[in-house]
Structure 1
Amino acid sequence: MKKLILLWLCLFTLQAFAKIDTPVHWKFASTKLDQNKYAVSFTADIDKGWHLYSQFLKSGGPVPTTFKFDKTSGLALVDKVTEKPEALSGFDQSFQMIIRYHEHQVMFTQIVYTKDPAAHLTGSLNYMVCSGQKCLPPSDVSFDIPVNSTVVQQPGSHSVQANHIGQHTLKSPSVKAPSNSDHALLAIFLAGFVGGLAAFFLPCIYPMVPLTVSFFTKRSGTRSQGIKTAVIYGLSIIAIYVGLGLLITAIFGASALNEAASSAAFNLLFFVILVVFALSFLGAFEITLPSFFVNKMDQKSEGGGWIGLFFMAFTLALVSFSCTGPLIGTLLVEAVSKGTYLGPALGMFGFSLALALPFTAFAIFPSWLKALPKSGGWLNSVKIVLGLLELALAFKYLTNVDLAYHWGLLSRDLFLVIWIIIFGVLAFYLLGKIRLSHDTEVTSIPLFRLLLAMVTLVFTLYLVPGLFGAPLKGISGWLPPQSTQQFALTGSGNAPGTAPSTGHKYAGLFHAPDNIDAFYDYEEGLAYAKKINKPVLLDFTGWSCTNCRKMEASVWSDPEVLKRIKNDYVLISLYVDDRTALSESEKYTSKVSAKAINTLGQKWSDLQEAQYNTNAQPFYVVLAPDGKPAAEPRAFDLDIKAYTNFLDQGINAAKRTSSTQNFN
């Protein structure tokens, strides 16, 4: 009872600060059974990831669905309300009891008897709904249903306040862990915005700013009209690039975007694309669009009015494509690889916003143009810098494929050698010690360029200790795991051959960080945990998962966290993007997605979706020795204290299990 009171207090205290959710949608209907008998149905359509509680719950738990019928003269209720299909059941960690619940859709039915053809069944129903992340306060829905006609009543939306305090860890597909998609979308937007600022200083765009602003001023006649023209021009730029992002989303589709982050084919394609873009920036060739298409858009821009301004912005996008194309392509590659549906559009929104703001700002304040540096050879230097950065980024995607297929091409130290060379060249280029054939000779170094060269040199020197095994926590998410390190003086990594000799299944293919003795097969790990009565840390990870490497380097390496994982847990790491082929006897068709499961990674990804209704990584689940959930699953979160508390819940669950066994 105390737990229930605490739940209620939290629900209503946080109500004013929470997001509004409406996960249940009710429909009412009446069907005639015989001359005077009717079946009145209450159908609940439940959003994915949510569950509605059954009528039949024990006391001390969540609020069951209940019906209250008004007394109506000439109308009698026959038996009680039934529910179909039969409720699912699962152990709820918060209430420490088995609860019954429904997903997707449930129909409640009340049989009524009446001789009055105009009778109405009136009353209200009360229900509570939860997801794996949160619970909503109970909600009342009133109904007034004419029983003598087959009608469907769709009530208005019944909004309730959501509160992120529910701890419902059911052993069922309804459990959904927190997602870090919001962080991914913010990162994509910021990357797009920074890319747009960089694009502004490219030689295909920067010299056009004074010409464009001057055109607005002369064409408009008045300052206010010039500002209006510039704003429309800026909005047109945003519309064009956001439209490009939406087009990418439409072409790939939601499922393909979601799979891109862990797809070896996508990552290999991304590597090739980025190398081509880098070479273009470095001056090997130019990526241009057909001239007839550019000329056609230019002709349309002369039409005047809003349409003319739109095509004028379109012409800018086409003419500058030789410079912006590689940059836009890189941003779209990054957005697609994040696996988020809105990523490409949001990335292009950030890019176009940063690109459009200067044109609008300089049109409003034309005197600012005097402060702009004059065009010159430094514009080409911007392209060279971006080209070298794209080349460094390309190898991140190559290592994803290399790890997934166990090719062994890019060890951690070889990857670092490549980056040290690229950033070393960049530093010397900025200092004027390296000059390409199409560069202008550097006679003096501006202060900003000097500072940028110094930052690059610092980063290059920071990478060097990594060659000898240093963890390099600041960029650990970008590097191959330390288990691929071929040479280490510090002993901090898992160089091949130095990991514990466990004899576990797949142990030759994988190595956990910090010499943790881990399992890489789900059933094998569970069986061992039950045998030695230790809790399980189930780690859904991936070779291409940047945030997984960050968690391992920044959170798992903490002494308190590492001590718990090594001494108190059985670690089961499941790589969802691994391309190791399953034997013919192990292959099957997924009940969740109906797809053929042919690789080890597909098997673990299907397990994650089936058990926990999510496919995001990293994803951590703590199980008691008997395999039951012992804590709310966790996603990416660098809060070490919170992660330690998370692990302690599993340790305490193991102690309770041990005490129960000893007592019995």
Structure 2
Amino acid sequence: MKKLLIIIGCLMHFAAFAQIDNPVHWTFTAAPAGDNKVEISATAQIDEGWHLYSQFLKEGGPVPTSFQFDNAESYHLVDGVTESPAATSGYDSTFEMTILYHEKSVTFKQLITYTDPAAQIKGQVHYMVCSGQKCLPPTDVDFEVAVDATVSHAANTAQVQKDNAPADKQSPVNDSGSSILSIFLAGFLGGLAAFFLPCIYPMVPLTVSFFTKQSKTRRQGIRAAIIYGCSIIVIYVGLGLLITAVFGASALNEASSSAVFNLLFFTILVVFALSFLGAFEITLPSVFVNSIDQKSGKGGWIGLFFMAFALALVSFSCTGPLIGTLLVEAVSKGSYLGPATGMFGFSLALALPFTLFAIFPSWLKSLPKSGGWLNSVKVTLGLLELALAFKYLTNVDLAYHWGLLSRDLFLVIWIIIFGVLAFYLLGKIRLSHDSEVKTLSIPRLLLSMLALAFTVYLIPGLFGAPLKGISGWLPPQQTQQFTLGAANADKPAGSSTHKYAGLFHAPENIDAFYDYDEGMAYAKKMHKPVLLDFTGWSCTNCRKMEAAVWSDPEVLKRLKEDYVLISLYVDDRTSLSNTEKYVSKVSSKSINTIGQKWSDLQQERFNTNAQPFYVILDPDGQPTAEPRAFNLDIKAYVDFLDMGISSVRKKLTVQLSN
């Protein structure tokens, strides 16, 4: 009787996990929007405690909501999909990026022109929803709306489809202003750096001299300096607004999450870096520059404006790469006001010194004289831009699973770049435009020490050190090719033949299988219990569990010595072969990718679709303990693992005795 009660209790506990969440309900409608135009609306009603991600997310974070319309000659899309109300913004410390999401309800709209009033508009919405404790795999919902529809077509997420990446919500702690503020500060620091470039710094005494000599009174000189400084701000902010106006908010947001644009950003930054290093100069047409310079000779406000315009054009060979880098960063944030905000910070920092030195000309005496050190500033910025470029390349690499930039290789590149920077600042490396460094100034010595310290800090990362201070800039720990203390020869048999072998590694250097059948075969051979880990590459709470729980010595010891770990990534987009594809018994949908296969397995066997989700199996594939979801209680996790170990050992003892 006692054993029966225990079994019933276990089944009741297990049943608590056996649920298919259905937190989003969709309604699709069509409304006239003018001659031969219709507006398609997709309204999502979101259950309390859940949130739906915006369309406009950066690469490397959670999966954004997206819409795909079937191609048809009878209708055409106008611009992109809009969403309202505006998404809530919050900083996610796990991804080290701003996350945009919706709660309660949101409506997505797409304007369409049609030639056939009887046309049927078909498509699919791909989205992901999360709560504070778990996240559901990305889901596809098909829709079909008639152009002249007066009755809405509704669909909900009761059928769970598995197509892309789960990611769990981390409570946002900052508002939407945090991203704008970071762009402004980056622009301001860029403007300060630009002030010390060879094409701007020597202009300060000449400009101040012009104001003092051309003005009859000190008051007129101060007014002219202020107008000049404001003109600089207007010109650069105008450039930022022009970029937004030309490309539009939709294009900027698409750029922030597009692998193609990230690859383009990488190329642009490499070109800018080479320009700063002296390979070539980026200049504007001389005819245009001369025309603006002639207009700067006019008096009054117009003359001062064109004088500032001439400074911007003449100095473009130096500031162009810096401005380009800033705009790339602003666009990559996916913010509508990003380019203008960045340019405002840049121009403010650039305009302030000219204005202040004109108001207080005696300060000029304290300025260091121009010299070879100005080119050193330029080269330093070039090396920093080169390091930044590889961040965008790794975004593309991860998106397409190319496997080009492992964490090790990325660190090697950065170690070389910052090592070269340290030796350059020490005067041990000279480029063609540099003058000989006979003595080191205090700022140069301090900067070289900082670069050298950062280089040394990076080196342990080659052997698996987490480098938590810059982890957001590095490829994931799983891409590490070599970790000290984890011998490749000790990997479980069969893992080397898996299609992911050599690409991804389990956190904390745990040997892991990425295929269910291979892992179970090895567990049966070794008579070990299995920890079945349903996870995702973009799952925030999965990363939290790995960093906070799996890293604990007691947990790590058990995972490495007593278990066979099988990590099944439900967001993996790798296509299955034609012979492996099938139709799901749960959702009746076609299973075409590895991620869909594992998500379907999770639903079919365990009747749940959230990650992270941990199941302990014996070597025969039978559950031996209550499954666990997201919970940072280390002691409870140790007890969970011990229960599985004990159960398998008892079963093995019985088998041997028989």
TM-score range, shorter chain: 0.5 to 0.7
For residues 147-189 of structure 1, what are the alpha-carbon distances to aligned partners after superposition, in whole Å with 9 as ceiling and x for unaligned?
xxxxxxxxxxxxxxxxxxxxxxx999xx998666543333222
- Counterpart pick for 2:442 among 430, 442, 447: 447
Provide the rounded CA distance (Å) in 1 between the counterparts of 2:492 and 2:500: 9
Cα distance change of structure 1 residues 429 and 550 upon mapping to structure 2, 3 Å threshold:
farther
Cα distance change of structure 1 residues 441 and 288 upon mapping to structure 2, 3 Å threshold:
same
Cα distance change of structure 1 residues 190 and 488 upon mapping to structure 2, 3 Å threshold:
same
Q: Which residue of 1 aligns with 2:508?
A: 514
- Counterpart pick for 1:187 among 170, 182, 187: 182
Q: Which residues in structure 2 correspond to 1:125-204 (within 5 Å)?
A: 182-204=177-199
| Matched-pair contact (CA < 8 Å) for 1:213–1:359 | yes
SS of the aligned residue for 2:297 comes to helix
Q: Which residues in structure 2 correspond to 1:330-479 (within 5 Å)?
A: 330-479=325-474
| Matched-pair contact (CA < 8 Å) for 2:545–2:632 | no
Provide the rounded CA distance (Å) in 2 between the counterparts of 1:350 and 1:548: 35
| Alignment pair present for 1:276 and 2:271 | yes
Provide the rounded CA distance (Å) in 2 between the counterparts of 1:472 and 1:627: 35
| Matched-pair contact (CA < 8 Å) for 1:298–1:312 | yes
Provide the rounded CA distance (Å) in 2 between the counterparts of 1:363 and 1:549: 57
Amino acid at match of 1:559: D
For residues 440-475 of structure 1, what are the alpha-carbon distances to aligned partners after superposition, in whole Å with 9 as ceiling and x for unaligned?
111111011011111111111112222222222222
Provide the rounded CA distance (Å) in 2 between the counterparts of 1:49 and 1:342: 29
CA shift, 1:629, in A, is 8.0
| Alignment pair present for 1:559 and 2:556 | no
Cα distance change of structure 1 residues 628 and 498 upon mapping to structure 2, 3 Å threshold:
closer
Provide the rounded CA distance (Å) in 1 between the counterparts of 2:415 and 2:496: 37
Give the superposed CA RMSD. 5.1
* Percent identity of equivalent pairs: 66
Provide the rounded CA distance (Å) in 2 between the counterparts of 1:51 and 1:221: 70
SS of the aligned residue for 2:437 comes to coil
Amino acid at match of 2:298: G
| Matched-pair contact (CA < 8 Å) for 1:476–1:550 | no
Provide the rounded CA distance (Å) in 1 between the counterparts of 2:284 and 2:350: 20
For residues 105-131 of structure 1, what are the alpha-carbon distances to aligned partners after superposition, in whole Å with 9 as ceiling and x for unaligned?
9xxxxxxxxxxxxxxxxxxxxxxxxx9
SS of the aligned residue for 2:197 comes to coil
| Matched-pair contact (CA < 8 Å) for 2:421–2:451 | yes
| Matched-pair contact (CA < 8 Å) for 2:532–2:566 | yes
SS of the aligned residue for 2:470 comes to helix
Amino acid at match of 1:541: S
| Matched-pair contact (CA < 8 Å) for 2:415–2:455 | yes
For residues 499-526 of structure 1, what are the alpha-carbon distances to aligned partners after superposition, in whole Å with 9 as ceiling and x for unaligned?
99899998666544335799999xxxxx
Q: Which residues in structure 2 correspond to 1:236-315 (within 5 Å)?
A: 236-315=231-310
SS of the aligned residue for 1:231 comes to helix
| Matched-pair contact (CA < 8 Å) for 1:469–1:490 | no
| Matched-pair contact (CA < 8 Å) for 1:192–1:347 | yes
CA shift, 1:253, in A, is 3.0
Cα distance change of structure 1 residues 553 and 537 upon mapping to structure 2, 3 Å threshold:
closer
TM-score (norm 1): 0.56
CA shift, 1:259, in A, is 3.4
Aligned residues: 449
Cα distance change of structure 1 residues 574 and 212 upon mapping to structure 2, 3 Å threshold:
farther
SS of the aligned residue for 1:541 comes to coil
Q: Which residue of 1 aligns with 2:323?
A: 328
Higher relative contact order (CA 8 A, sep 6+): 2
For residues 591-647 of structure 1, what are the alpha-carbon distances to aligned partners after superposition, in whole Å with 9 as ceiling and x for unaligned?
xxxxxx99999x99xx9xxxxxxxxxxxxxxxxx7648899xxxxxxxxxxxx9975
SS of the aligned residue for 1:346 comes to helix
Amino acid at match of 2:435: T
Cα distance change of structure 1 residues 295 and 505 upon mapping to structure 2, 3 Å threshold:
same
Provide the rounded CA distance (Å) in 1 between the counterparts of 2:214 and 2:330: 38
CA shift, 1:496, in A, is 11
| Matched-pair contact (CA < 8 Å) for 2:262–2:392 | yes
Amino acid at match of 2:339: P
Provide the rounded CA distance (Å) in 1 between the counterparts of 2:324 and 2:553: 43
Cα distance change of structure 1 residues 104 and 287 upon mapping to structure 2, 3 Å threshold:
closer
Q: Which residue of 1 aligns with 2:483?
A: 488
Q: Which residue of 2 aligns with 1:541?
A: 538
Provide the rounded CA distance (Å) in 2 between the counterparts of 1:213 and 1:236: 15
Cα distance change of structure 1 residues 329 and 557 upon mapping to structure 2, 3 Å threshold:
farther
CA shift, 1:368, in A, is 1.1
CA shift, 1:270, in A, is 1.4
Provide the rounded CA distance (Å) in 1 between the counterparts of 2:541 and 2:377: 33
| Alignment pair present for 1:214 and 2:209 | yes
Cα distance change of structure 1 residues 248 and 218 upon mapping to structure 2, 3 Å threshold:
same
| Matched-pair contact (CA < 8 Å) for 1:500–1:517 | no
Cα distance change of structure 1 residues 582 and 561 upon mapping to structure 2, 3 Å threshold:
farther
Cα distance change of structure 1 residues 232 and 276 upon mapping to structure 2, 3 Å threshold:
same
Provide the rounded CA distance (Å) in 2 between the counterparts of 1:199 and 1:496: 52
Cα distance change of structure 1 residues 357 and 388 upon mapping to structure 2, 3 Å threshold:
same
Provide the rounded CA distance (Å) in 1 between the counterparts of 2:365 and 2:632: 60
CA shift, 1:429, in A, is 1.0
Provide the rounded CA distance (Å) in 1 between the counterparts of 2:543 and 2:357: 41
Amino acid at match of 1:328: I
SS of the aligned residue for 1:434 comes to coil
CA shift, 1:562, in A, is 7.9
SS of the aligned residue for 1:441 comes to coil
Amino acid at match of 2:186: A
| Matched-pair contact (CA < 8 Å) for 1:430–1:449 | yes
TM-score (norm 2): 0.56
Provide the rounded CA distance (Å) in 2 between the counterparts of 1:259 and 1:574: 25
| Matched-pair contact (CA < 8 Å) for 2:198–2:318 | yes
SS of the aligned residue for 2:214 comes to helix
Amino acid at match of 1:378: W
Provide the rounded CA distance (Å) in 2 between the counterparts of 1:298 and 1:194: 28
SS of the aligned residue for 2:279 comes to coil
Provide the rounded CA distance (Å) in 2 between the counterparts of 1:300 and 1:196: 25
| Matched-pair contact (CA < 8 Å) for 1:171–1:629 | no
Amino acid at match of 1:257: L
Cα distance change of structure 1 residues 403 and 248 upon mapping to structure 2, 3 Å threshold:
same
Cα distance change of structure 1 residues 583 and 248 upon mapping to structure 2, 3 Å threshold:
farther
Cα distance change of structure 1 residues 220 and 384 upon mapping to structure 2, 3 Å threshold:
same
| Matched-pair contact (CA < 8 Å) for 1:484–1:496 | no
CA shift, 1:554, in A, is 6.7
CA shift, 1:266, in A, is 1.4
CA shift, 1:220, in A, is 3.0
CA shift, 1:228, in A, is 2.3
- Structure 1 residues not aligned, in runs of 5+: 1-44, 53-100, 106-130, 134-169, 522-531, 588-596, 608-624, 632-643, 656-664
For residues 4-25 of structure 1, what are the alpha-carbon distances to aligned partners after superposition, in whole Å with 9 as ceiling and x for unaligned?
xxxxxxxxxxxxxxxxxxxxxx
Q: Which residue of 2 aligns with 1:638?
A: none
Cα distance change of structure 1 residues 196 and 562 upon mapping to structure 2, 3 Å threshold:
farther
| Matched-pair contact (CA < 8 Å) for 1:49–1:132 | no
| Matched-pair contact (CA < 8 Å) for 1:519–1:573 | no
